[in-house]
Amino acid sequence: MSYLHEISEPVVEVQDLNMYYGAFKALDSVGMKIAKNRITALIGPSGCGKSTFIRGLNRMHETVPGARIEGKVLLDGEDVYAENVDPVRVRRKVGMVFQKPNPFPTMSIYDNVIAGIKLGRRHKKSELDEIVERTLNQAALWGEVKNKLKDSGMSLSGGQQQRLCIARTLAVEPEVILMDEPASALDPISTQKIEDAIQDLKKSYTVVIVTHNMQQASRVSDYTGFFFIEEMGAPGQLWEFGETERIFSNPKRKETEDYVTGRFG
Amino acid sequence: MSQLRRPMTGRFKRRRIMDRAMTFAAYACAALAIIPLTWIVIYVFVKGIGVWNARFFTQLPALFEAGGVRNGIFGTLEVVGLSAAIGVPVGVMAGIFLAEYGDNILGGTVRFTADTMTGVPSIVVGLFVYGVVVLNTGGAYSAFAGAVALAILMIPIITRTTEEMIRLVPNSIREASLALGVPRWKTILRVVLPTALSGIVTGVFLSVARVAGETAPLIMTIFGTYYAISKNIFDGPTTTLSLLIYKLGGAPNPEVVKVAWGASLLLILIVLGLSLLARLIFKGEGAKF
């Protein structure tokens, strides 16, 4: 089922996307439009292909041995899977924050932030300083680390590490930021800070966030996609998509309603 | 009587005795295992420390009196240094290949070859280098030929430890870098290698320590006479501490044999020092993830 009609000017348009791990089909025929400067939440039970789906958007899926993909992912109208498209360039436009905070262990906080921009053209020191301060501010971490930028990224708490990873992603200046359950490994206070940061990001970025937490989806997102598998071993499907308010208050399909009201999942 | 406090009789007593006996046996065997090393170190120290004086470090060996081992010290540093210069880049890069690109037939072949090569007797490697290098350079024994032999012994060890260490780097860190739009090669160079560095350096040090004491392959590649000390690394026999120990240890004059003990002590301390350094590096830098 496709819900392409709801968004008129998408940044990302996914058409008939099928994703595989070897012989296993993980995702079946997903179509979705992702609105610019909006937050799109993806919810659904475990193993229904949400994480796989967002890894398809920035070509991270293909880093898994045996992984395969069919269909189109248009970024500003351009298919990221077309021939001659360099996945490296796609990933610079579509950044990603992972479930578990993963700062680079050998780098300082400062170097972690600029890790992604140190290739390409050379930046002046003052430019880098400015980027570090701006992105750490956007990630709501600056105040906590401004006096210890030379410390190892590993010296931070889990929540701080995750915000550092968000800053690192922002420094590359992507158009779209994918977040794979960014707060699921964190305590409520850290979660709150991350959610606040995500709300602020909306002004300049498009955010897609996978979450298991339905309150989180309803709190932060503008649009919600519900993924579902009909039975074990079947591929995941985009079961329902729409404005978050509508999905939570007036879902069209029974499974969506069961899930958002907490009857399963 | 309570259930917990049974009298120590019958099978309970037997179990307790067995437990004690086995624990004791395990401790005893552990102690036994370290006896040879401590004994060797002490024995060599007692026998060798007596000849350690200025002459020992600065003179060439003498036939009928206690000389020095200057040429051996120089030769060991020269040959081992050269072999590291050849073996470390090859070994580390092969290890990177195995860990990052080696999940295929080529990788499997390289891995199997490396594992087999660690088991090849070092004298066979010496004979091989004699045939391939020495005979093809006009029968010239040289420090270079010796270094090739030691490098061949070193490469499989470095390759496999480098691979293991790189595989220990969590995949999440590679993904983080790739997701930032950093190309694969730059991810390996800037993120994966620094994370695995302490482990790789440890492997390098251990492999250098392992070949520093090699003797057999050097007999056929650098030859090793009493006085040999060639200025040209590609031509002319030279010697190392290990070869001098072999030569001087068999000398009829007891004063000369004492010098061999002194050289043994020096060689043991070099190897021990390298191993210790390797451990320090691993402890200080390792386990960051």
Render pLDDT for A187-244 as a digit per residue (tens, 0 to 9).
Answer: 889 899 899 999 989 989 999 999 988 889 999 999 999 999 988 889 999 999 999 9
Could you read off the pLDDT of B187-239 as tens digits, one per residue? Answer: 999 999 999 999 999 999 999 999 999 999 999 999 888 877 778 888 888 99
Q: Please give the structure tokens belonging to residue B191.
A: 């993120």
Q: How far is A169 from chain B (nearest CA, A)?
A: 6
Strand partners, A10: A35
Contacts of B212 (CB under 8 A, 6+ apart): B76, B80, B242, B267, B270, B271, B274
Which residue from B minimizes the CA distance to A65?
Answer: B103
Tell me which chain A residues have a C-beta less than 8 angstroms from the C-beta of B170: 102
Helix-helix angle B70-96:B143-168, to 10 degrees? 40
Q: Exposure of B133 by Cβ count < 10 A (0-12 exposed, 13-18 middle, 19+ buried)?
A: buried
Q: Based on the domain organization, do B112 and B230 belong to the same domain?
A: yes
Shortest Cα distance, chain A CAs vs residue B281, angstroms: 15
Per-residue pLDDT reduced to its tens digit, B55-112: 999 999 988 888 899 999 999 999 999 999 999 999 999 999 999 999 999 999 999 9
Assign residue B58 a region (left: φ > 0; alpha: ψ between -120 and 50; beta: otherwise): alpha
Q: Are residues B32 and B92 in the same domain?
A: no
With respect to residue A56, please indicate whether it lies within any of the assigned structural domains. Answer: yes
Cβ–Cβ gap A63/B178 under 8 Å: yes
Nearest to A105 among B173, B178, B190 (CB): B173
Q: Are strands A176-180 and A24-35 parallel, antiparallel or unpaired?
A: unpaired
- Average pLDDT on A26-30 reads 94
Number of A–B residue contacts, CB under 8 Å: 72
How many C-beta atoms surround the C-beta of residue B140 within 10 A? 18
In angstroms, the Cα distances linking B112 to A142, B105, B109, B164, B206 are: 50, 10, 5, 14, 21
In a domain, A164, yes or no: no
CB A251 within 8 A of CB A257: yes
What mean pLDDT comes out for the span A17-43? 94
Same-domain check for residues B12 and B106: no
Residue A31 covered by a domain: yes
Residue with tokens 């390797």: B278
| Tokens 């996978």 sit on residue | A210
The 10 Å Cβ neighbour count of residue A22 is 11
* Shared-domain flag, residues B82 and B161: yes
Tell me how many domains chain A contains.
1
* Average pLDDT score, chain B: 91
CATH assignment at residue B250: 1.10.3720.10
B11/B95 same-domain check: no
Decide which of B31, B51, B71 is a domain's last residue: B51
Residues B257 and B180 in one domain: yes
Q: Indicate if B110 and B132 belong to the same structural domain.
A: yes
Domain limits at B263?
54-288
Q: State pTM to two decimals.
A: 0.82
Q: Do A98 and B177 touch (CB under 8 A)?
A: no
Hey, of A88, A100, A162, A175, which one would you mutate to test binding to chain B, going by the most B CBs within 10 A of its CB?
Answer: A88
Total structural domains in chain B? Answer: 2
Instruction: Give a yes or no: residue A113 inside a domain.
Output: no
Alpha-carbon gap: B86 to the closest alpha carbon of chain A (Å): 28
**DSSP code of residue A5:** G
The domain boundary, picked from B18, B34, B51, lies at B51
Residues of A in contact with B179 (CB under 8 A): 58, 60, 91, 95-96, 98, 169
Residue B165 and residue B231 share a domain: yes
Residue A24 C-alpha, separation from nearest chain B C-alpha, in angstroms: 21
List residues of chain B with CB under 8 Å from any CB of chain A. Answer: 103, 170, 172-183, 186, 190-191, 194-195, 197, 288-289
Task: Give the strand pairing for A206-210 and A67-75.
Answer: unpaired
Q: pLDDT band at B8, cuts 50/70/90?
A: low
Q: Mark yes or no for CB contact B181/A92 under 8 Å.
A: yes
Q: Closest chain A residue to B193 measured between Cα atoms?
A: A106
Whether the pLDDT of residue A3 is over 90: the answer is no
Which residues are within 8 A (CB) of A66 and not within 5 positions of it... i.e. 6 or more apart? A21, A22
Over residues B141-195, the pLDDT tens digits come to: 999 999 999 999 999 999 999 999 999 999 999 999 999 999 999 999 999 999 9
C-alpha angle B129/B211/B146, rounded to 5°? 30
Same domain, B241 and B215: yes
Say whether both B133 and B19 belong to one domain. Answer: no
Indicate which CATH number applies to the domain containing A17: 3.40.50.300
Residues B40 and B83 in one domain: no
Do B138 and B263 sit in the same domain of this protein?
Answer: yes
Q: Is the ipTM of this complex over 0.90?
A: no
In A, what residues contact B, Cβ < 8 A? 58, 60, 63, 65, 88-93, 95-96, 98, 100, 102-107, 115-116, 119, 152, 154, 165, 168-169, 172
Q: What is the largest CA-CA distance in chain A?
A: 56
**Domain contains A168:** no
Q: Which domain holds residue A41?
A: 10-100+177-260
CB atoms B288 and A154 under 8 Å: yes
A121-137: burial string, b at 16+ Cβ within 10 Å, e else: eeeeeeebeebbeebbb
- The answer to whether A14 touches A57, Cβ cutoff 8 Å, is yes
Query: Searching chain A, which residue's CA lies closest to the CA of residue B170?
Result: A102
